[in-house]
Amino acid sequence: MTNSYKKILIVDDEKDIRAVLEQSFTDEGFSVISAQDGEEGLKMIEKEKPDLILLDIVMPKMDGVTVAKKLKEKGIKAKIIFLTNLKGELPVAEGLVEKADYISKTEIHIDQIIAKVKEKLSVE
């Protein structure tokens, strides 16, 4: 299956990060949608049913771990990669998703984020 059949939802309150990720994944052939906070992201997840969610942890209105908990409560099994600027101890999200993946927004290059998403979605 090619990337164009895979839909990615980016949920991040930082407009510049969303814009860079949206453009990068669009350039890679993915269908990309985005949300600026957890509440909007949760609504989009239910409506759009993305193949993978890049989910910021620290956001206004609803944080990423709470979004993941709500998805589990609703029985929505989505592939999630948490985005974070947090250092050290990360919020425990294991058990919320099949294997919680975390990406540091400040310590990783966009190419590495794309590679991680492709690996999680099993696409080339």
- 95 CB neighbour count, 10 Å cutoff: 10
Condensed to tens digits (0 to 9), the pLDDT of residues 26-84 reads 999 999 999 999 999 999 999 999 999 999 988 989 988 899 889 888 888 888 998 88
- pTM of structure: 0.85
Given a cut of 90, whether residue 99 has pLDDT beyond it is no
Domain of 60, in residue numbers = 3-121
CATH number, domain with residue 109: 3.40.50.2300
CA atoms of 81 and 57, how far apart (whole Å): 10
**Beta-strand runs (E) in 36-91:** 52-56, 79-84
Nearest alpha-carbon partner for 52 in 85, 74, 82: 82
Q: How far is CA 110 from CA 20, 42, 43, 104, in A?
A: 8, 24, 26, 11
CA gyration radius for the chain?
A: 13
Structurally, the chain folds into a number of domains equal to 1
Q: How far apart, in Å, do the first and last CA atoms of the chain sit?
A: 9
Adjacent-strand bridge partners of 103: 83
pLDDT range class, residue 92, cuts 50, 70, 90: low
